[in-house]
Amino acid sequence: MGKTLNIYTDGGSRGNPGPSAIGIYICSEDGTKIAALKKRLGVTTNNIAEYQAVLHAFDFLDKQPTTASFMVFYLDSLLVASQLSGLYKIKNPKLKEIRGQIAKYENKFRDQNINIKYQHILRKFNKKADALVNEALDYK
């Protein structure tokens, strides 16, 4: 098994829709922190924020050199993890649009022989990404 990047993403909205933000925590397979990113999105829905977190993670990773052969995205949204894995259909047009952007990154990384997996995890195991979302939302 090759080198794995663990990417914890979270998106949150206070109200649905409401003020929203994303949090991304990336670490190596041994737990060494690579990046912690947070960003306010403005007013949007929780699901769009969840998708934007994955998209922004890919955008960041695309600009970094990597020797990874696996990228595992950990999300506490079962719906989004299942949709990105192809288990559930995406009906919302805005989510379909973001999914298309994510697919371009997936293809680019797969062309470099990097495998991508989306894994649902319980919220208690996604605390770092969740904290980044709240920091972004709380920042004035």
Contacts of 59 (CB under 8 A, 6+ apart): 105
Percentage above 70 pLDDT, the chain: 98
pTM of the model: 0.95
The number of helices, as runs of H, and strands, as runs of E, in the chain is: 4, 5
Give the model's confidence band at 139: pLDDT under 50 very low, under 70 low, under 90 confident, else very high: confident
Q: Tell me the three state secondary structure of residue 28.
A: strand
Q: Count up the domains in the chain and report the number.
A: 1
The predicted pLDDT at position 140 comes to 63
Average pLDDT over residues 55-60: 98
DSSP character for 95? H
The predicted pLDDT at position 34 comes to 95
**CATH number of the domain that residue 128 is part of:** 3.30.420.10
Contacts of 108 (CB under 8 A, 6+ apart): 62
Nearest-angstrom CA–CA distance, 34 and 23: 14
Full domain range(s) for residue 100: 4-138
pLDDT in tens, 124-133: 999 999 999 9
